Structure 1
Amino acid sequence: MRYMIIVKATRDTEAGVMPEEPLLAAMAGYHEALMRAGVLLDASGLKPSADGWRIRYRGSARSVTDGPFAERADMIAGYTLIQVNSREEALEWTRRFPNPAGEGVDAEIEVRQLFELDDFAPGEAIDRFRAMDAGAS
């Protein structure tokens, strides 16, 4: 089971403020523990939305809107992707996630399970995804 730990964007992350050393050290320690346990798949911070863009689909038309975006509550500042054996194991790891805003500051992370190919009905498209997955291994 794969889970994504989502760090919500804040005013500071959107302003490009880099985390201070104590928070970086806590995050490094947490991710090292995930790595030692063999459950870490990927982790990264995201640059502010000012460096990004959105694609809007309306029928068959697509339009591009450059950042920054005002709806900070809907944005993420980073993620950690883990692979564990159960929801309970994922919950235990996420309870240990360092406060992304720094100790004593209100913050929130969101955790979502990723779909696996076995969650979908068999079909040609799923077989194509399986072939890509096998090629990436």
Structure 2
Amino acid sequence: MRVMVMTKGTGADESQGQPSQEMFEKMQAYNEQLVKAGILLAGEGLKPSDAGAQVVFTAGETSVVDGPFTESKEIIAGYWIWEVSSLAEAVEWARRCPFDPRYGATQMLEIRPFFDMADFAEVVDSQTLAKGQELIERGDA
């Protein structure tokens, strides 16, 4: 099962700055454990929201909001993509993640499984599913 693990904090946390050398080393050691366990497929940190934008779709209208998003309750700060045997295994690995208390009292990891094409078999015809799988395998989706 593939899962995305998102590191989250509040918009106010972004002003805390870059990780320290010590925190970077701790996170690097954690990532090395994930690699050795064979579950890490990808992962990166994200720049603060002031370097980004939100594209908002509301009732047929599209608008763009430039960052920062300091009023947001949760900001995604980074992610991993893991291949695990179960959600329980992902939770166990997530519990080991080192966090830096400088980035606020509450930090969170959200774990979400990816859909497989088979998950749509009851509502999407097999030809469309096959094309979707082909796009994924080619790296176009």
Answer yes or no: same fold by TM over 0.5. Answer: yes
Task: Spell out structure 1 runs of 4+ moving beyond 6 A.
Answer: none
Cα deviation per residue 1:7-61 (whole Å; 9 max; x = unaligned)?
113434x227110011111110111111112110111111111111111113333
Contact 2:9/2:108 (<8 A) preserved: no
The two structures have a TM-score, normalised by structure 1, of 0.84
Question: In structure 1, what is the equivalent of residue 138 of structure 2?
Answer: 135
Question: In structure 1, what is the equivalent of residue 30 of structure 2?
Answer: 30
- CA RMSD between the two structures: 2.3
Note if 1:86 corresponds to 2:86.
Answer: yes
User: 2: distance between equivalents of 1:17 and 1:72?
Assistant: 18
User: 2: distance between equivalents of 1:42 and 1:110?
Assistant: 16
User: 2: distance between equivalents of 1:53 and 1:46?
Assistant: 13
**Identical pairs, percent:** 36
For residues 95 and 125 of structure 1, do their structure 2 counterparts lie closer, same or farther at Cα, with a shift above 3 Å needed? Answer: same
Q: 1:1-137 to 2 correspondence within 5 Å?
A: 1-10=1-10, 11-12=12-13, 14-15=14-15, 17-101=17-101, 106-121=106-121, 122-123=124-125, 124-136=127-139
After TM superposition, give the deviation of residue 82 of structure 1 in Å: 0.5
User: 1: distance between equivalents of 2:101 and 2:43?
Assistant: 17
User: 1: distance between equivalents of 2:7 and 2:76?
Assistant: 6
Q: How many aligned positions are there?
A: 135
Contact 1:43/1:79 (<8 A) preserved: yes
Query: Helix, strand or coil: the match of 2:73?
Result: helix
Could you list the runs of 5+ residues in structure 2 that have no partner in the other structure?
Answer: none
Which amino acid is 1:41 matched to?
A: L
Query: Helix, strand or coil: the match of 2:41?
Result: strand
Contact 1:34/1:40 (<8 A) preserved: yes
For residues 101 and 116 of structure 1, do their structure 2 counterparts lie closer, same or farther at Cα, with a shift above 3 Å needed? Answer: farther
After TM superposition, give the deviation of residue 100 of structure 1 in Å: 4.6
Query: Helix, strand or coil: the match of 1:109?
Result: strand
